[in-house]
Amino acid sequence: MKKIAKQDEILLDKSASKEQLPFSIDPTVFTQKPTKKEIAKLSWQPVNGSVINVLHHATSGRAFTCGVFKDNHRESEKLIKQQIFCVDFDGGMTLNEAGEILKEYNLFYNAGYYSFRHSAELEKFRLLFVFDGEIQDPKIVKSILRSFYYLFQCKSDKSCVDAARYWNGTDKDYFIGDINQVINLKYFSEVTTPLLLAADRNQYRKIVTADEGILCAKSGKIIYNINKENQGCTNKNKKDIDKIQNFNIEDLQQFQLFKIFFEGKGTNTKNKLSHHELFGIATNLIHLKGGYAIWKECLAKNPLYPKKEKESIYKYVYDKKYDPIHFSKFSPYEEDKTNFFQTFRQILIKKGRVFNKSNGEEKLWKLADARAELAKKYNEILEADDCNIYIIKCATGLGKTQLIKNTTNIVAAFPDHSLKLEHFNDSELSATIKLATPAAVGFSENVQKHIDAVYRNGFNDVVNTLIKNLAAGLSINDERKCSPEDIKAAQEYLDALRAVKESNDSNTVFTTHHRAVLTWFPQPTIIFDENPLGVLLAQGSVPISDVQKLILEMAFTGHEVLAEKLRACVNSDSKTVFDFVGMAIDEDGLYKMIKKLKLKSKIWEFLKSDYYVKINDRINYCTNNIWRLPTDKKIIIADATAPIELYRKMLGSRLKEFDISNVELKGKIIQYTTRSCSRTGNQGYSQAVNADLDDWDTITYKSQKHMFDNSAPDIHFGKSRGTNKYEGRNLNVIGTPNYGSAFYMFLAKVCGLDVSDFKMKNRKVLFKNNEFVFYTVAHEELQEFHLELTEGDIIQAAHRARPINHDVIVKVYSNLPIPHAELIWWKKNTPNQ
């Protein structure tokens, strides 16, 4: 034995590795295994160095410990930190055998060295492992060492599992493993916890887990401490697993890896699956009813699996409530990696597949017959002496707008001002018969700015009053006088509005959906060209920050009851729908208050609404205008995609309906159903979709036009009805539009549905004789409304090309099948069954 002076201590080469690790050393050199007396004399000095530094120290005969201790006293309770771990093999396993075990679990050692008593006949060595963070609790250190013991099949030294363990040096060589890698503690725990469970009879009480790890700003290290709230490995943040029932085991064997597991075979030279492969399969099986029985059956077919250990994998995965891992992440087979379905859930639910359940009895109209039937029904309804509400559901391109704009004695309502003016100018009615409600007025900059600010807050009635004041020459924005141009513009607007209101019932008035619902007209019949649902159930949202400002202001102005009602919504979750029913509102006082606060949202429109709910950082609201439909007039809604089921629920016995929408196409609609192309989905695969597009105009979401080539600049989902600009052109249509959770909550309120769960998820649905999987709610009636509305938006976009009149091709990318489409399961390029 040679003891060297402190000044001769080994120099730590910090350039040998980027990772500077804490450990403790003693400078004494031994040429053989030291005695207990010699060990007792060792003193420990904390240092920082790399794995190479540890090896140089150990192979020069010096002892070391993997941790740093308080006051340099080598006791478990005094551990300060540790990042290196050493596992001792005293003849129970060869280095190659240890390496094979690590490979099976996708683990590795960083380096190692042979101990004093190593020989070719009996291998004795130590392996060094570096983790990705410093462990500061001796219980975690002990748990990690215990995990290594069971990982190596109880063939490492069982006595070396405490944080204060020291390690002798050697006179033998060292060897290098994956020197530049570190082990992620979370992954290590996932791999080894099932081993500990098997050893502890599936009880978690002996298992110690670390927290998620905290990045120390000062040192740049990840710090692991004991998870003091640890009560096992169950993920309490996730709900119980919704298991799939009534499936065929043969469907699961479409995955080659599972087929081999089910047959009791293996994927490697050991004729069994690796831990990584088993773990992945377990995360899929826990989502099936009877999954544990299948797991045990498969394990029993192969005697090479340690029964307790491998069964514990399932228990651990189930308790953690893992989401299914994609087979491409763990299967070695190319067919599994390229399978479009990547989990058991996907392969059983068959998302994207459409199965038609039709008996073939639906009437398919010839184009000429459909046009004749539309004209006939239209005239019959006009001549009927009643005040019913009629829905004429007629295919896009049949000529309904042509009929409406040339009819006398009606109010003809169109989606917006531009369409109103377009059809007014195209109408064959004489100028003495037809009238149009005026569009927005253009005033001078200062006046317009003032009016816009009032309108932005939703004070529509106040805007009307301001225009009347302008027409009378009264200032509206604190200026001493009004300009003659502003006075004239206001007067012309009011004159045009007055002419419409004073028209006789033989005139035809062209107006918007909004004004037709909110304004009285003398004509006995109101006809909506396109679906007016957006006005009948008007929606909007305001930022919570504006509502909070209003609440604070109310505290000083005597509006405590309203303030408390608003405060309840602001503090609620996103599942509670509130209402303003029976709420008395001081309109003049609130107007002054909102004006003072200079809020920029439609806060007044919100306060005048019926229902509201908090969604994230906004409050969504809905105004029910159905009651505004006059009961002493005939109402006609002519639309290709009117949601009949929804209107039946909202309008009751007053509703009469006629359906002429199933008309044969001259052109072709090709629909790719594999992907939903939802807003969220497009974020991940828009490039793949874009690469598949033909060089045609593309209709998609307003917010995602930049993702796709040739996106139509003037139309998108939500604004595609009525326009003829794209007639006769080939089109791409990308998307499955959704109205948002708040809208379906409001629908439930308006329709009187008792719905407690608005959660959307992939469900098997039957809609218009098609069975498929769709992301929707569980409530059957609300689900029907959802599907009707979504289908309508897709049809409206696809039929801008007018495929019933023109030999065009429309390609639709959506998983909700629309009528007359040739459905193709994308990427497989095979038609749906």
pTM of this structure? 0.65
What's the pLDDT at 223? 61
Expressed in angstroms, the distance from the first to the final Cα of the chain is 82
Which segment, 3-12, 236-245, 777-786, is predicted with the most confidence on average? 777-786
Whether pLDDT at 228 is above 70: no
CA distance 824 to 102: 45
Tell me if residue 182 falls in helix, strand or coil: coil
Which DSSP string do the residues of 464-522 spell out, in sequence order? HHHHHHHHTT--SSS-SS--HHHHHHHHHHHHHHHHHHT--TTSEEEEEHHHHHHS--S
CA distance 614 to 620: 6
Torsion from C-alpha of 222, 208, 282, 329, nearest 10 degrees: 10
What's the pLDDT at 658? 96
| Cα 117 to Cα 87, 143, 215, distances in angstroms | 16, 28, 41
Torsion angles phi and psi, residue 511, rounded to 5: -150, -175
CA distance 542 to 583: 19
* Percentage of the chain exceeding pLDDT 70: 90
Residue in the structure block whose two tokens are 């609404």: 609
CA distance 206 to 340: 42
Whether pLDDT at 221 is above 60: no
Distance of CA 580 to the CA centre of its chain: 31
Whether pLDDT at 206 is above 60: no
| Banded model confidence at residue 201, pLDDT cuts 50, 70, 90 | low
Q: What stretches of 104-165 adopt beta strand conformation (E)? A: 111-114, 124-135
Q: What is the amino acid identity at position 89?
A: F
Tell me the average pLDDT across 378-402.
96
What's the pLDDT at 189? 84
- Regarding predicted confidence, which is higher, 240 or 21? 21
Query: 653 exposed, middle or buried (CB, 10 Å; 0-12, 13-18, 19+)?
Result: exposed
Which structure tokens are listed for 416? 């917006």
Whether pLDDT at 112 is above 90: yes
Tell me the average pLDDT across 388-400.
95
Query: 439 exposed, middle or buried (CB, 10 Å; 0-12, 13-18, 19+)?
Result: middle
Write down the mean pLDDT value for the chain.
85
Tell me the average pLDDT across 758-783.
91
Is 344 in contact with 252 (CB distance < 8 Å)? yes
CA neighbor of 173 nearest in space, from 124, 122, 101, 109: 124
Residues 6+ apart with CB under 8 A from 120: none
CA distance 467 to 128: 83
Q: How would you classify the pairing of strands 28-29 and 64-65? A: unpaired
Q: What is the amino acid identity at position 204?
A: Y
What's the pLDDT at 227? 46
What's the pLDDT at 430? 94
Is 398 in contact with 371 (CB distance < 8 Å)? yes
The least confident of 99-108, 224-233, 311-320, 439-448 is: 224-233
Q: Is the dihedral of CA 290, 292, 295, 301 positive or negative?
A: negative
Q: Which domains does the chain have, with CATH numbers?
A: 2-199 (no CATH), 249-349 (no CATH), 536-627 (no CATH), 668-831 (3.40.50)
Each residue's pLDDT tens digit, 159-184: 777 777 888 888 888 999 988 888 98
- Regarding predicted confidence, which is higher, 644 or 232? 644
Q: What is the 3-state secondary structure (H, E, C) of 767-785?
A: ECCEEEEEEECCCHHHHHH
